[in-house]
Structures are given as structure tokens and as C-alpha cells.
Structure 1
């Protein structure tokens, strides 16, 4: 099992942060273009809710499309939600999206636990590529959120 943990402070209020991250259509906005992210389920701007299924196609390696299906398993508005992979590239994927009000803004926290298939070969792939690619995706997200909402100043 591998873990990715990221935090980011934004100069917006808790409700603004929740409204943005809990809208499925915004996933495309915060995903690097090279991933070829395409949502295949229809949500029409709805907010996430427990039990919601979201399907999409991503192209993380050499433009090869991968189908991915996640379920929103937990929602505690406006504090957190959890998405879990139901099928896709990982053997296990559990992603917590947490928000906390802080002075002059909000603290966003992402905690991802994941496991790749193929045992030790999956671990090698994680070391050679997946870990770095996930870091790049979250770095893109970090920069995009600053572009959208501004730089946090304490």
C-alpha cells in the first residue's frame, strides 16, 4: 500500500472551496491536459453525494485510454468526501478530500491510499513512474487552484 498526502491553503471560504471540489465537472479543470480526462457519466453540475458513481476515461501513459469508475462513499458537507475506485488501473484506491477553515482561508487536504496490481512489479512501476506521475498531477492541481483562487497569505 502506498500513500500520497498533500495540503494546500487557499484564500477562499469553506463554502467556496466545498462548492468547487464537490462538483464533478471541476475534475477536468484540475487534471493536467495530457491525461486526456473525459467524464463519461453525466452529472449536469450536481454536487457529489454518497453512493454517486462517476465514470471517466484517462490516458496516463502513451495516450492509451483507461476506463475508471469511482464511487463517492462518504460525504460530510462541507468538511470532506471520499472517493473509492470500483474498477480502473489500481487494485485499491481510497482518496479523502478534506477541508478545514483557517485564518483568512481554507486548508485543503488530500490523503490517497493506493495499491497497484502485479505485486512486486506494481511496486517497481510505482517507484519508476506512478508515484512521480501522481505528484505531477497534484502539483498541476496546486498551481491551477492558485490560478483560479489566488495565493494564500496568512
Structure 2
């Protein structure tokens, strides 16, 4: 079931790619490891930038959530210095096999526009504090971070 589901999701993403503008591409390293290139959402500090995300599927996918990490360094409250991210959808207690990779990538774009600042969701305290204290300075710092680390 895992390989059939993964192949189906890849086909759906590739078919919708141009229409949605969600991804630039999905590189399939092997059947259980993808590299996604998502565009920063319009109106956000990450707009016009491409973020690279590693997606690791377990042998139990879709029963178990995939592991996702940003390889593009981001200054963001929900992304750690090593690229770990925190979304409720990835928590095993919240995970549903009905969630697709396309849905997850859309959730990541939403997270880039609107960080989740609830307790337990923050992985970068400095970014969260700046976002709350001075949103304009946060945007400036996040933009500088993207310029420094973009291709």
C-alpha cells in the first residue's frame, strides 16, 4: 500500500504543479525519499523564494506521518536552526492517513505566511519573540536570512 500511495501522490502533485504554483519540482531520490521545492507564498517575506524540504516516508506510510525538514535555512518561529518544523498535522496523535503530501505542502506555505505561536509550536524563540515584538523587524531579518542563504 505504501508504494502505491506514494506513486499516486507524486502523480497528483506533478499534474497540479503548474496549475497551483505549489512546487517547482519534486525530486525522487528513492521511493521513500523526496526533495520538494516550494515557493514562498505571495505577500510573505518568503515570496519569490524557493524553499527546499526533505520528505522521508516510513514503510508504514500513510499510517505514519512522513518526516519533513527544511534544508533551506529559514528564520521562522516554527523552524529550528537545523530545519526541523512543527505543525500539528505531523504529530502522531493528530496524523490522519487522509492527509496527503500536497496538503502538507500547502500547510507549510500557510505556516510561512502565518506562524503558529501557540505553546509547543515554537522551535525558534528568537524569531517568535521578534515576530511578536516588532513584525517589521522580523520581516527585515527573515528577508536578510533568505538573501544570505538563497541560491
| Fold agreement, TM-score > 0.5 | no
TM-score, length basis structure 1 = 0.39
Structure richer in helix, relative to its length:
2
* Alignment TM-score, normalising by the size of structure 2: 0.40
| Highest RCO, 1 vs 2 (Cα 8 Å, sep ≥ 6) | 1
